[in-house]
Structure 1
């Protein structure tokens, strides 16, 4: 707990200099080996000309969950895991003011390659959260540049 008596948001070494995720207001709820859960509020700066979530914002949000689930939260000085490829399917429009949650889970790991599924949910007033998009990421662990 912090000095204010409130639990501080979870941290991950990847977020230290991740100014995009900071600007998006992403908060980490849970992170462990092969899993991450994050949230953010959909703000007006994240909307497209139709007044709904810009697809790039949803993609970037899911990509952050993907990165957090692929890389150890304890950090690594020798390697980093990056996207080798991704697919995203948008299922519903993102509504301004709603809270989005991304839940990332590793499905398979073989050597330096992995497959991760990320579900993106949005809050719905007086109802259960709904699936906004599905993201599948293919990862590759590579040496850190020197």
Structure 2
């Protein structure tokens, strides 16, 4: 895993049950920096295999990275496993606004925050920043719309 400025001890201590079988998250190689009720921050180094033809971050990579922070913020981190969660919260929709380009070798951070919930629906804002030799800047703003649904993997389902 790339050095994202987070110690290995912190990386090992912060995990989430939805990451157990998440191959895309493993491929992205991010570190979980913060988990809290309705909040999550993750980071990763932008690698060469994440770039588009202009040698900047591919928009789909930035979107997937933000979507992962969104998923972590939407679902409780204290469940022992995904099967323990009776309800899961998934994306009902999302929008992203790209503000600036991210370059290879920069450290991306996605900070997700819950804004409001009504019934089974919620809104989350995720800010994606890039840190490089010239400092930190906003790369994109992502707004996720969530919906809580029954967990198809819940162990007590018949």
Q: TM-score, normalised by structure 1?
A: 0.92
Q: Secondary structure at the match of 1:92?
A: coil
Q: Return the offset for 1:8.
A: 4.3
Answer with 48-57 or 74-83: which moved more: 74-83
Q: Return the offset for 1:124.
A: 2.7
Rate the CA distance shift 1:6–1:69 in 2: closer, same or farther, 3 A: closer
Query: How many residue pairs end up in the alignment?
Result: 141
Match of 2:74 among 56, 66, 70: 70
| Residue in structure 1 matched with residue 139 of structure 2 by the alignment | 132
Q: Which stretches of structure 1, 4 residues or longer, exceed 6 Å deviation after superposition?
A: none
Match of 2:118 among 78, 99, 110: 110
Question: Is structure 2 residue 146 aligned with structure 1 residue 142?
Answer: no
Any gaps of 5 or more consecutive residues in structure 2?
A: 1-6
| Residue in structure 1 matched with residue 59 of structure 2 by the alignment | 55
Q: Return the offset for 1:83.
A: 0.3
CA offsets 1:18-40 (integer angstroms, 9 cap, x no match): 11011111110000110000000
Q: Return the offset for 1:94.
A: 1.2
Any gaps of 5 or more consecutive residues in structure 1?
A: none
RMSD (CA atoms):
1.4
Q: Return the offset for 1:50.
A: 0.8
